[in-house]
Structure 1
Amino acid sequence: MSQPAEKFYSLDPEEVLDHFTANQDSGLSGDEVDQRLEQYGANVLRESQPVSTPRIFFRQFKSVVILLLGAAGALALLTGRWHEGIAIIAVMLINTLIGFFSEWKALRSMEALRDLGKQQAQVRRDGGEHTIDEQNLVPGDIVLLSPETLVPADLRLLPRKGEKTEESREVQVNEAALTGESVPVMKTPEAVAADTVLADRTCMLYKGTSVTDGDGEGVVVATGMDTELGHISQLAQSAEGKTTPLQKKLDELGGQLAWVTIGITIIVAITGLVAGRDTMVMIETAIALGIAAIPEGLPIVATVALARGMYLMSTRNAVVNHLAAVETLGATRIIFTDKTGTLTANKMVLKKIVTPEGVHELDDSQQNKPDLANEPLLRRALEVGVLCNNARLEDQQQKRSGDPTELALLEAGALLDKDRAELLEEFPEEREEPFDSDTMKMATFHRIEGGFRVAVKGAPEVMLDACTAMATNEGETALSEDERDSWKQRADELAGEGLRLLAVAEKTTQAVDDDPYAQLCFLGLVGMADPPRADIREAVEECQQAGIRAVMVTGDRPDTGQAIAEQVGLASSGAAIHGRDLGNIEALSTEERNRILKADVFARVTPEHKLQLVKIFQDSGEVVAMTGDGVNDAPALKQADIGIAMGERGSDAAKQVADMVLRDDNFSTIVTAVRQGRVIFANIRKSVIFMLCTNLAEILVVSLASLTQAPLPLHPLQILFLNILTDVFPALALGVGVGSSGVMQSPPRPSGEAVITRHHWHAIGGWSLVVGACVLAAFTLALLWLQVGETEAITISFLTLGFSKLWFVLNLRDRGSRPWNNDVVRNLWIWAALVFCSCLLLLAVYWPPLAGVLQTAIPGSDGWMLILGMSLVPAALGLFAPGIRFHTVSNSSRG
């Protein structure tokens, strides 16, 4: 049963408890729990059904090429042509099994990924504390929280019950799994406004997040699919599955081939029957045309090319879960990327210290390490940051625990050449005043000769209000109101640079119980940031050079997101768009939609916003990739044309729906994957062009011969032999090429562009005429000039076509490349395929068992001269006749 969608974060704690008839002191009774379990159901998330093995197998038959092969095989079997029928069916099954095993392996490897295994929860029931399975939680349960606890359901934080007063209860929570931001958030019981966005609901704890510090308790307000995590899971399951551009285009091509085959077959059959040709001869012709029109190797070549790309990407830390997704990367125009951990290092670092004596820029390498002997004020500021600190660094900083901000201060303390333990030996700690969200400050007292040194840090505005003096290298001076306002303004400017700020101050006192926040001396501002990855700017620039836009989508503040965007080189088209300004996506005006399409940074966004943004860009015709690591990213990852999850810190939910997982969480790995995707599409395009050129040549040969009383120049099994062997192996070699060096120097191809464009069809038609004419010429000359028998003449046309295909592959170089120095010539697999297929052609006439099946004869020396002469004509035209319009087949749509 669905739970009420109340805005519990806007209600006082007592109102929430009353709503659920819950008692904070005793919790629910056993009877109440049983009743609510029956009413609301178990606290579990529903998972989408896995794809069954039979379904994976049978959907391989959706390919038009497979269906056409099946029809040709069935016709051959029905007419008693067993050799042809069995051979065709075998080829069809091989294609089907290759596709099945590739997809089955990818899907099954992802079934091992499951988000958030079974957890237990500490609850108060029947007046006592109990440990239960989290799936048995119900609304109204009182959950007890402690550090390292995973929040088991959506909770409303409750205040601590005192004897006379209710004290504020504070808990720090890491919400990275939900909001994508790794900096822990301070949670307090105080209600917030009803229109507060999820990331700012400071009194709510959500399922799937984790407590990093503090003890507390909360009342369960939502379980299972009614939690925020459940809503996200529901969005991910409802997001539309997608067919990649390559799948769409290959299906379109298969449909075109089907109609071409049917049309030509009907025309030839009617013409032949009208001319009085034998019915069985026309059936043989129909089978031959059906085989000739189908590029039998297309599914194999596409699958192998994609699989090899998948393997190459895995060696470069990009693991692809769906074969066809490899190619889609090459058409990507928009990459939605999270900020934290994707563009940034996911680690807070002290970047800047501003004291009354000046600004000190810090870097990770510490090559510009300041001379602290000549900077006493800077040393004092660093010491305060290290002393007033609860974080821990152990084992040469390999083991880190605590608030990321405090960790950054500890690591910056290396400038002091003393760690915190050594400083505490010099300044022993006697008292700590913990950080309080009301005062926004923290203080520690340290014993010194004659009294105590009080180290204080906190929010700049409240710290400046607490300071009455300001330190300089020469001593202390009074802090005037103008100076105080000037420092506050400076703090706002630094925050606009994307820095997270703290102010540090200190004083000396005689009593350990003195007020730590009175009469402070201001030392300066310390600015921390999650810095961009070292190689991110170069990766972004390469994306932009390739016509790809990176768009930041973050749960962080707009000014922080904008600052990081500028640091990493994202083109800035204006201010960041706040999540609350998106409104109702479906009701957006044209002007508002255009503003969204031009924006580079979206801040304070919810999971629903991310999903809607992906849809908006897709509706505008863009091919969209989405990177993410949190549970919150799962719906958008699934909706995007390419979902890219982070492997190191990504949630299992994100990995499960993603098309690709980055093992190193590195944005630059995406650039490598995009390049490989473009290379794969270019290679598949070359392979398809190669097969279509030679297959259309076969159609021309068979159809023209059938219009006369001459015998067919090719038997059906010979065509099948050529299509499977002398087509597939060179096409495979083309499919695994490394690609040209300029593949990332041009914009992505249009998402609607066909695999074979109009210009490609022109080239294919021209080359098909050349190859077909050479085969018919060889057949005619063999009969009339050499005056050989019909079997030998058919063998000559068979070998002429076979070798023409092999030499023709050299014409598949890129536009503008040199004949003897291009990506095809440099591809060693091409030369291996040419040698191997040449040997197969020789076996087809010189090995008696195979020659008997294919009905071939050994040509004489004159026959071989004719074969070599005619088969070399297409290659010679491509190499030495640049004036011919279709002398080269480019991967460009223009060519």
Structure 2
Amino acid sequence: MQEYYGRNWIEVVGSLGSNIDKGLLEYDCTLRREKYGDNIINLGKTDGKWAIAKGLLKKKYIYASILIGLFFLLKGLNILALINFLLLVFDIAFKSHYEFKRKNDLDILQNLNKSKVIVLREGIERLIEADEIVKGDIVLLKKNSFVSADLRLVKSNGLKVEERSITGEDFIKEKYESKIHGQVSSLGEMNNMLFRGSFVKEGTAMGIVVQTGNDTELGKLLDIINENSYNKHTMEKKIEDIILKAMLCLILVELIIYLVLPGSGFNKQEIFMYGLFSIVNVCIPIIIFSYSKIIKKRLLKEDIDIINFSSFNLVNDVKVIFINKFGNITKNELYFDKMYTNEKIFNNREIDIKDINIRRILDISLLANDSKYNNDNNWTKGDMYEIAYVKYCTEQRMFKAVIDGENKRKFEISKDTNKNVITTVNKCDKGYRANTRGTIDGVLEFCTHILVDGIERELNSQDIEKIKLADLCFSRKSLLTEAFAYRSFSYQPSKSENIESNLVFVGLVALESLFVEDVSEDIEKLMDNGILPLIFTDDNKIVAEMLGRKIGLIASSKEVISGVELDSLSETELYKVISRTRIFCRLTPELKTKVISIFNDDGFKVAVEGETLGDLSIVKSAHFSILKGKASTLLKRCGELYVKENGLKAFFKISEEGIGLDKSIKNGIKVYSTLLVAEIVTLNWYYALVDLRLFELYTLMFMNFFLLTPVVLLVMNSGRKELNKKKAFIRGSLFSLLSVLSIGLLSEFNEFAAYMIIGGMLVSYGMVNSKLSFRTFNTGVKLLLITIIIYILGGVLIGFMNSVIYSKNLAIIIGGLILIYLIGDLIITKWQDS
């Protein structure tokens, strides 16, 4: 992009072979379309609904269910087969709903290809479809126009644009055609560029198309979103494979019982078929979907938004993590700490705002400042440096609104990102003044004079040496510095003048960034877990070194390197240096991508953080991506999770939750297996006694499809700890024994008794093996309440279908058996906890 934003528009138009007065020839457009392609964002794999449905049918557990359904048909059990296929259709429809929703999201994005655009062709303004735009087209924009390609501005008149979906910045930005000097660190700083997906809110403009289709920044973003949707979603498959293995084990148990059970004929086969039906009659999609929602909701309370549920799986493979300084090592806030002016260093408590030099620095800090701050509710918006200045000045009873009112801003000079210099021109009492702040080297380059005790004099080498010595002193204390300068005018200057020449240097301000709590322990924890932490920072090498030493990450200055140094290394030297480096200073996005690719090539799974579209390349190349801060809605979808500030804490949380997730899945499988074993044993025991089938289909559906689902979710969400295999076997045996006993004690109402006992024990199982707090109406309490309601409704329905006559004796036996199980389960739980 630098070839466009870093050159004046005349050069850009010339390099693209266009003309701002006539635009392109139609013939030329045809040639360019053949060379560069149409202006269509191709989202790749956007399968139709039938293709999605066929894809779902390939899932293993669904395939197993289909085979069992066909087996039912083969044996003439048509009702069993019909219900099985209806449940299968429900499963597929449930899962398809979310796949179709994703497809619809992509279809909406495809609508970006459908809009009208005004272009200049052969000297005539024409309204064309967006997909007909070609590179080099001259586009005309007005209020409410949709930007349909990436443009370099040629002319602008009061142009203000909303580009939240691209840059993540939630404010209207002013745009202009002036070239930007040096490189920029994010798309949001390219104020002479318009990006596809933006909207014109005010003004008019003319721009030349520099990128179309998938080569636009939006196209690249959507390409990664689409790619990640297919390649990184692995957790669901893992859970389904575990469930399938459990199903196969239960089918094997059923088969063994069938083979050893005495008897023959249709009844025995029917009992076997009903056992198979019980095993597959479980609502797997609802369990997976509901549990993922529960986890996501719980993590949202900690400001962690799970984008990809497979995060819990992917995080286990990470061996290298690149983290940004702000938010992980230090807080996302700066504090005004020290000042250098009048050849002296002042602490923030020693500053006298009546001093001319000090007052001038504080004035500049507020005038060359676009932040917003509300002292009443501590609301802030803007750059961390600017917010720190506003907060400190507010403490000194200097208010930005008042200073701005007394010094009306006339215009701002385009930011020179290489030197990080910001300049505004303001009307003051005695004329006009340019107010400049930025890096020391950047500001000093423009300075010819210095202000000492309120008197301007020529800047000499001794002054520069003292200034740099003060900066070195600040850097060795890990403080971040900015320089301040100004220039006075007796007339109103224009943008075309060299405003930033002949500046008067005033002084330095040193800002402190406080460490995040327990950051040293976090770094140590990563290394103990076999994960190498590496830091990206925009600090200079001295500040970075001091930072690294304080947190225990480095022991030598050789472990810190700058982007300029990396850029000068040969390939051989690059590999050697990167292998020992722990902190990378001031790297461009291209260099960050190069560093990450080296680790990828060596077989390491890498985790990174991203916040702007400038981070898109590193997000794409990483195994695990954390989006944070002001990341746009679309950019968030490229990563695994989104956090507001601390990506490292979120990484640890996801790692811990991943361990808990494995435990929860295993607990859920054990609940499922316990119930199914009890059902299979009870079915076959009853058959062995009276040569009849115990359960009707509706009873099995109520127990397996409706009652089991909330119990599994309850144990998965609120389980005490991973259920011990030996204890699980004892529970299963107790479950089966009491189920069999119920049909012996209540022979008159066998089906009802078996349902009430098995369902009652299932509810008890969920209660005993879950940590529930009844102080609030939380997820666990909700699931327990749903379970009890379903259990009671099932009892009423099955009692009605079996014409049950309720009696005191019936209630005592059912209640007694459930109580025996409850006592037994409590003993087993206490044994497990001991």
- Structure 1 length normalisation: TM-score? 0.66
- Could you tell me which of 804, 818, 827 is aligned with 1:880? 827
Separation in structure 2 between the aligned mates of residue 403 and residue 728 of structure 1, nearest angstrom: 49
- Secondary structure (helix, strand or coil) at the match of 1:501 reads strand
**Residue 524 of structure 1: CA displacement?**
0.6
Is 1:278 aligned to 2:264, yes or no? yes
Aligned residues of 2:536 and 2:584 also touching (Cα < 8 A): no
- Could you tell me which of 295, 302, 308 is aligned with 2:288? 302
Separation in structure 1 between the aligned mates of residue 770 and residue 291 of structure 2, nearest angstrom: 17
| Structure 2 CA distance for partners of 1:820 and 1:197, relative to 1, 3 Å | closer
- Secondary structure (helix, strand or coil) at the match of 1:241 reads helix
**Residue 473 of structure 1: CA displacement?**
4.5
Is 1:803 aligned to 2:769, yes or no? no
- AA in 2 matched with 1:773: L
- AA in 1 matched with 2:31: Q
1:705-749 Cα offsets, whole Å, 9 max, x none, are 87x687478446354443234423423443554x77xx9xxxxxx
Separation in structure 2 between the aligned mates of residue 565 and residue 149 of structure 1, nearest angstrom: 47
Separation in structure 1 between the aligned mates of residue 609 and residue 190 of structure 2, nearest angstrom: 27
Is 1:839 aligned to 2:800, yes or no? no
- AA in 2 matched with 1:775: S
| Structure 2 CA distance for partners of 1:9 and 1:463, relative to 1, 3 Å | closer
- Could you tell me which of 695, 698, 705 is aligned with 1:724? 705
Separation in structure 2 between the aligned mates of residue 632 and residue 469 of structure 1, nearest angstrom: 37
Aligned residues of 1:72 and 1:290 also touching (Cα < 8 A): yes
- Could you tell me which of 663, 670, 675 is aligned with 1:689? 670
- AA in 1 matched with 2:236: Q
Separation in structure 2 between the aligned mates of residue 60 and residue 441 of structure 1, nearest angstrom: 56
- Secondary structure (helix, strand or coil) at the match of 1:46 reads coil
- Secondary structure (helix, strand or coil) at the match of 2:789 reads helix
| Structure 2 CA distance for partners of 1:541 and 1:136, relative to 1, 3 Å | farther
Give structure 2 stretches of 5+ with no counterpart: none
Q: What is the aligned partner in structure 2 of residue 250 from structure 1? A: 239
- Could you tell me which of 481, 505, 522 is aligned with 2:461? 481
Aligned residues of 2:668 and 2:713 also touching (Cα < 8 A): yes
Q: What is the aligned partner in structure 2 of residue 812 from structure 1? A: 769
1:559-617 Cα offsets, whole Å, 9 max, x none, are 59959987998967953685995999x99999889768x77989423499299669949
- Secondary structure (helix, strand or coil) at the match of 1:372 reads coil
Please show how residues 247-646 of structure 1 align to structure 2 within 5 Å: 247-271=236-260, 277-294=263-280, 296-310=282-296, 324=309, 353-356=339-342, 358-359=344-345, 370-373=351-354, 375-384=355-364, 460-461=440-441, 464=444, 471-473=451-453, 481-491=461-471, 497=478, 499=480, 501-504=482-485, 522-526=505-509, 562=544, 574-575=559-560, 578=563, 603-606=587-590, 609=593, 616=600, 620=604, 628-633=610-615
Separation in structure 1 between the aligned mates of residue 665 and residue 676 of structure 2, nearest angstrom: 16
Aligned residues of 2:710 and 2:784 also touching (Cα < 8 A): no
1:411-433 Cα offsets, whole Å, 9 max, x none, are 87657756789769988999999
Number of aligned positions between the proteins: 814
Separation in structure 2 between the aligned mates of residue 16 and residue 453 of structure 1, nearest angstrom: 33
Q: What is the aligned partner in structure 1 of residue 802 from structure 2? A: 851
**Residue 296 of structure 1: CA displacement?**
1.1
- Secondary structure (helix, strand or coil) at the match of 2:340 reads strand
Aligned residues of 1:156 and 1:220 also touching (Cα < 8 A): yes
Separation in structure 2 between the aligned mates of residue 438 and residue 631 of structure 1, nearest angstrom: 19
Separation in structure 1 between the aligned mates of residue 533 and residue 566 of structure 2, nearest angstrom: 17
Q: What is the aligned partner in structure 2 of residue 46 from structure 1? A: 42
1:838-894 Cα offsets, whole Å, 9 max, x none, are 5346436632xx227xxxx7698777666555544443233235675xx46xxxxxx
Aligned residues of 1:684 and 1:735 also touching (Cα < 8 A): yes
**Residue 379 of structure 1: CA displacement?**
0.8
**Residue 198 of structure 1: CA displacement?**
10
| Structure 2 CA distance for partners of 1:858 and 1:143, relative to 1, 3 Å | closer
| Structure 2 CA distance for partners of 1:232 and 1:403, relative to 1, 3 Å | same
**Residue 280 of structure 1: CA displacement?**
0.8
Q: CA RMSD in A?
A: 6.8
% identical equivalent positions: 17
**Residue 346 of structure 1: CA displacement?**
8.9
1:106-134 Cα offsets, whole Å, 9 max, x none, are 66467656797889989887679999887
- Secondary structure (helix, strand or coil) at the match of 2:43 reads coil
Is 1:225 aligned to 2:214, yes or no? yes
| Structure 2 CA distance for partners of 1:587 and 1:524, relative to 1, 3 Å | closer
- Secondary structure (helix, strand or coil) at the match of 1:354 reads strand
Decide which moves more: 793-802 or 541-550.
Answer: 541-550
Q: What is the aligned partner in structure 2 of residue 241 from structure 1? A: 230
Separation in structure 1 between the aligned mates of residue 6 and residue 34 of structure 2, nearest angstrom: 28
Q: What is the aligned partner in structure 1 of residue 732 from structure 2? A: 768
1:221-257 Cα offsets, whole Å, 9 max, x none, are 6543345665555455445724545413322223313
| Structure 2 CA distance for partners of 1:858 and 1:639, relative to 1, 3 Å | farther
Decide which moves more: 554-563 or 79-88.
Answer: 554-563
- Secondary structure (helix, strand or coil) at the match of 1:502 reads strand
- Secondary structure (helix, strand or coil) at the match of 1:47 reads coil
Separation in structure 2 between the aligned mates of residue 651 and residue 515 of structure 1, nearest angstrom: 36
Separation in structure 1 between the aligned mates of residue 441 and residue 315 of structure 2, nearest angstrom: 49
**Residue 654 of structure 1: CA displacement?**
1.8
- AA in 2 matched with 1:263: L
Separation in structure 2 between the aligned mates of residue 504 and residue 619 of structure 1, nearest angstrom: 49
| Structure 2 CA distance for partners of 1:239 and 1:694, relative to 1, 3 Å | closer
Separation in structure 1 between the aligned mates of residue 401 and residue 751 of structure 2, nearest angstrom: 91
**Residue 472 of structure 1: CA displacement?**
4.6
**Residue 510 of structure 1: CA displacement?**
13
Separation in structure 1 between the aligned mates of residue 9 and residue 493 of structure 2, nearest angstrom: 36
Separation in structure 1 between the aligned mates of residue 733 and residue 742 of structure 2, nearest angstrom: 14
**Residue 485 of structure 1: CA displacement?**
1.7
Aligned residues of 2:43 and 2:106 also touching (Cα < 8 A): no
| Structure 2 CA distance for partners of 1:764 and 1:96, relative to 1, 3 Å | farther
Aligned residues of 2:182 and 2:416 also touching (Cα < 8 A): no
Q: What is the aligned partner in structure 2 of residue 37 from structure 1? A: 33
Give structure 1 stretches of 5+ with no counterpart: 160-170, 363-367, 744-755, 889-894
Separation in structure 2 between the aligned mates of residue 645 and residue 99 of structure 1, nearest angstrom: 27
Aligned residues of 2:357 and 2:452 also touching (Cα < 8 A): yes
- AA in 1 matched with 2:269: I
- AA in 2 matched with 1:772: S
- Secondary structure (helix, strand or coil) at the match of 2:560 reads coil
Separation in structure 2 between the aligned mates of residue 348 and residue 122 of structure 1, nearest angstrom: 46
Separation in structure 1 between the aligned mates of residue 696 and residue 442 of structure 2, nearest angstrom: 88
Aligned residues of 1:792 and 1:859 also touching (Cα < 8 A): no
Separation in structure 1 between the aligned mates of residue 657 and residue 818 of structure 2, nearest angstrom: 34
Separation in structure 2 between the aligned mates of residue 510 and residue 731 of structure 1, nearest angstrom: 78
| Structure 2 CA distance for partners of 1:595 and 1:248, relative to 1, 3 Å | farther
Separation in structure 1 between the aligned mates of residue 69 and residue 492 of structure 2, nearest angstrom: 98
**Residue 525 of structure 1: CA displacement?**
1.9
**Residue 522 of structure 1: CA displacement?**
3.7
- AA in 2 matched with 1:36: R
